[in-house]
Structure 1
Amino acid sequence: MSQTTSNPKPEPSVQVPKVILRTGRFLQSISTLAAAKYAKRLFITPFKHKMPRREYHMDEQSEQTPLFVPEILKTILVYRYGKSDKKILLAHGWSGRGTQLVKIADHFLKLGYEIISFDAPAHGKASGATTSMPEFIASIHEIEKEFGPFEFAIGHSLGGMALLNAVREGFQTKKLVTIGAADVITDIILHFTRTLTLKDTVAEKMKTMLDTQFGEDIDYASAHNAAKEVHIPTLVVHDEHDGDVPVSCAHAIHNELSNGSIHITQHFGHRRILGKKEVIEKIDGFLLSVND
């Protein structure tokens, strides 16, 4: 594992448009509740980014199938990349898409695996405008029913959090990898509202709204809580200079795993890490090792 170095605080990979910041502050000047409602809507609304050229071949060569998820009454899009009895599930993060982990997919495709990935609700080519982690988790369970079983599962960011929760709830796989996964949902909300330059009171009200919406304390689904009930071999990968998710999340998750490993990289950030040779080789060694 790489050693921690002293460096300036990493910059986030995505900058918030000024119009959004101004709108939030204006609403906050009228009512923190109004600002909380506005922030909550933004929080559950992913951006749909244009697919970069490096992902075109996976998009073109995949068999793509709409899959209705009864639990959430939404339809996702499932990608089948290659054909094999040995399958790996890939789960993208917030504002990602089913082809985002293409470098990892290509690597294991060459090794004879079939890659199953998906556009979560309101992501990629899937319909809808809003979604949340419970919908990611429900999608993973439905994919397992229709396309499983899976040898391994790999999740980036929110996809890693969702996979930890899915495994806790019974999703079956031999080994799990998380990359850049966040942890405590309250902290995520607080970071989000501070990024919007809003008061911490707005985050508190927003958290209360989400607790009410989902019928429980949403911190139950925090990654370190889920990790307590994940007993399969799990590799936690994170970059020391991730500007979106602090590396402390990786250590918190790893500390709760009963059969966990951790790999910390340097200067790969939150998204570029997905295509780095060092990371792919580490994942390969972990998943294909017979000693774990």
Structure 2
Amino acid sequence: MKRLKQLIGDLKQQQNNPDAALMREFIFYSPKMPLRLYQEQLIAAATQFSVKVFDTYFTKGELNINCFSWGSGKHKVLLTHGWASKALDFYELIVALQQIEDLEIIAFDAPGNGSSVSEFSNLMLYADSVKAIALNYSAPDVLIGHSLGGMANVIALQELGLSPQLLISIAPLIRLKENFEQSLDSVNISAKDQDIFFDNFAKEFPVQASYFNLVNLYQLSTELNHFLAFDPEDHISPYPYLREFLDKNPAVNAKSFEGVGHYKILKSSDLVQDIQFKIAALFK
């Protein structure tokens, strides 16, 4: 968090001529929040393992992804957290799912988040982490993602050709470019200088940031059992973007949870109970 505050301060001072390298670092640096005591206790009760992903974007080397599991059931549930988050931000949901028999609950810290070491991270490293767990540990029967993790799950499933029994997206990010714009706006970066960032992004990755738009990317089967939870007042993943996605994909079962916001939705007792019920009913 200290590094993020420094980046914000430096960029605001440079707003008339921001350094391109600083803009890049600001976007791809994920601040880390320490575990709370109750989260540490849940981690201590987990089975811990790791998988590797190759980072083609920043280090050009392999990264270790720290993973955690609770239970040893035959039905696998995989949780994918959002940006600047960690596995244990699913604390309430993990505790609730432990009450269901014959489950193994799996979560991980994406590169640059939580306990997984990396200076920078991005959407594709999240998706690659999901793929690595599915290929090298266990393919999930249920896949749950929050925010950027929801977009990563879709990409991973499509690239692997997998179809879980249930996909749950919680406040999923729909448009990555617009999310970057929100972040750059927050430090007073002008539209002209944002164009420089996006030009550099396209050269580095090498696709336009606008490519990562679930309205266009989403190609999962209409037969897939896909539940989507959202808050219509969410400012991180704005409802107009989500509405466009849902209009194009009417098979997705969407439900509104009002007044919880983008992050606190994970702690919503109503949502946790809904997910617990859906998964329990699935494996009766």
Q: TM-score of the superposition, structure 1-length normalised?
A: 0.85
What is the CA deviation profile of residues 217-265 of structure 1, one whole-angstrom value per residue up to 9, with x for unaligned ones? 2332322223244541211111123343323333233233352011111
* Count of residue pairs the alignment pairs up: 273
What corresponds to 2:239 in structure 1?
247
Match of 2:59 in 1: none
8 A Cα contact 1:180 1:237, kept in partner: yes
Shift of residue 61 of structure 1? Answer: 0.7
How much has 1:18 moved relative to structure 2? 6.7
Q: 1:89 to 1:194 in 2, by over 3 A?
A: same
- Name the SS for the 1:28 alignment partner: coil
How far did residue 49 of structure 1 move?
0.3
1:265 aligns with 2:257: yes
Q: Secondary structure at the match of 2:98?
A: helix
Give the Cα separation in 2 of the matches to 1:83 and 1:17. Answer: 38
Query: Matched residues in 2 for 1:160 and 1:174: separation?
Result: 16
**Percent sequence identity over matched residues?**
18
Divergent runs of 4+, >3 A:
16-22, 228-231, 284-290
| 1:25 to 2:12 alignment | yes
CA distance in 2, matches of 1:277, 1:76: 29
Alpha-carbon distance between aligned partners in 2 of 1:216 and 1:284, rounded to the nearest angstrom? 38
Q: Does 1:144 align with 2:121?
A: no
Aligned match of 2:50: 66
2:76 and 2:132 map into 1 onto residues whose CA distance is 15
For each residue in 1:185-215, what CA deviation from the matched residue of structure 2 results, as whole angstroms up to 9, or x when unmatched?
2211111111112112222221221221112
Mapped to 1, the partners of 2:51 and 2:207 lie a distance apart of: 27
Cα root mean square deviation, aligned: 2.2
Which residue of the partner structure matches residue 210 of structure 2?
219
Q: 1:104 aligns with which of 90, 93, 103?
A: 93
Aligned counterparts of 1:19 and 1:66: Cα–Cα separation in 2? 31
Structure 1: give runs of 5+ residues left out of the alignment.
1-13
Letter in structure 2 aligned against 1:65: F
CA distance 1:66–1:156, shift in 2 (3 Å): same
Q: Say whether 1:157 aligns with 2:147.
A: yes
> Which of residues 133, 157, 160 in structure 1 aligns to 2:123?
133
SS of 2:130's partner is helix
User: Which residues of 2 match residues 22-101 of structure 1 at below 5 A?
Assistant: 22-29=9-16, 31-32=17-18, 34=19, 36-70=20-54, 72=56, 73-101=62-90
Supply the distance in 1 between the matched residues of 2:4 and 2:123 (Cα, whole angstroms). Answer: 24
Q: Specify the SS of the correspondent of 2:87.
A: coil
More displaced 10-residue stretch of structure 1: 37-46 or 131-140: 37-46
Q: d(CA) in 1 for partners of 2:279 and 2:215?
A: 21
Q: Per the alignment, in what secondary structure is the counterpart of residue 172 of structure 2? A: coil
Query: Does the 8 A contact of 1:46 with 1:123 survive in 2?
Result: yes
Aligned partner of 2:148: which letter? L
Cα distance 1:41–1:116, how it changes in 2: closer, same or farther (>3 A)?
A: same
Deviation at 1:109, TM superposition (A): 1.8
